[in-house]
Amino acid sequence: MPDYRRNRVPGATYFFTLNLLERRNTLLVDQVDALRDAVRKVRAARPFYIDAWVVLPDHMHAIWTLPPDDTDYSARWKAIKIAFAKTQPKTERLSPVRAAKGERGIWQRRFWEHTIRDEQDFAAHVDYVHINPMKHGLVDCVADWPYSSFHRWVARDVYAKDWAGQGVAELVAGERGC
């Protein structure tokens, strides 16, 4: 059995990527309200701060900061996945292994995690989260994607509404986005 090692730093900020099992599925945006409800329920029981988040049709990226003395992001993701899956009809294909274990066929079993190292790493990952809808060809302008914390960051005057992935040098030079 594989030995998955996770970096666990109390109160740290982490970047995550989670994927649906069927990568051509659009379930996450089709059922975004159910996903939001699952996140709300988990946050009520086990708080964490959402720094950034983007929900794409078949995967999502998030940046969370955990409370001081807390390292258990895995239990939170497990609870979110379960709560979301419970809202979905059991129509997905199941492998014999998943069926035998009583699992659903919605999510990939694992997720990718990265511990944010410093402010520059944080900024780069926040940009990555927000540029993803454009990167995947879902929109021409970041602001056009509704399932993103980008709009919250615009409201806080961190990003211009027409930001399209430019770095600081391009913004200072006056190059425009969308």
Q: So what's the pLDDT on residue 102?
A: 87
pLDDT at 175 over 60: no
pLDDT tens per residue across span 83-121: 999 999 999 989 999 999 988 999 999 999 999 999 999
Among the listed residues 14, 73, 147, 159, the single catalytic one is 147
Over the stretch 139-172, which tens digit does the pLDDT of each residue have?
999 999 999 999 999 999 999 999 988 653 344 3
The answer to whether the CB of 106 falls within 8 A of the CB of 92 is yes
Tokens of 154: 């615009």
Question: What's the pLDDT score for residue 112?
Answer: 96
The enclosing H or E element of 159 equals none
Helices 32-45 and 73-86: angle between axes, nearest 10 degrees: 140
Taking the C-alpha atoms of residue 59 and residue 107, their distance in angstroms, rounded to an integer, is 9
Q: Domains for the chain: give ranges and CATH numbers.
A: 13-138 (3.30.70.1290)
Query: pLDDT tens digits for 20-44?
Result: 999 999 999 999 999 999 999 999 9
More confident residue, 174 or 162: 162
State yes or no: is 73 an active-site residue. Answer: no
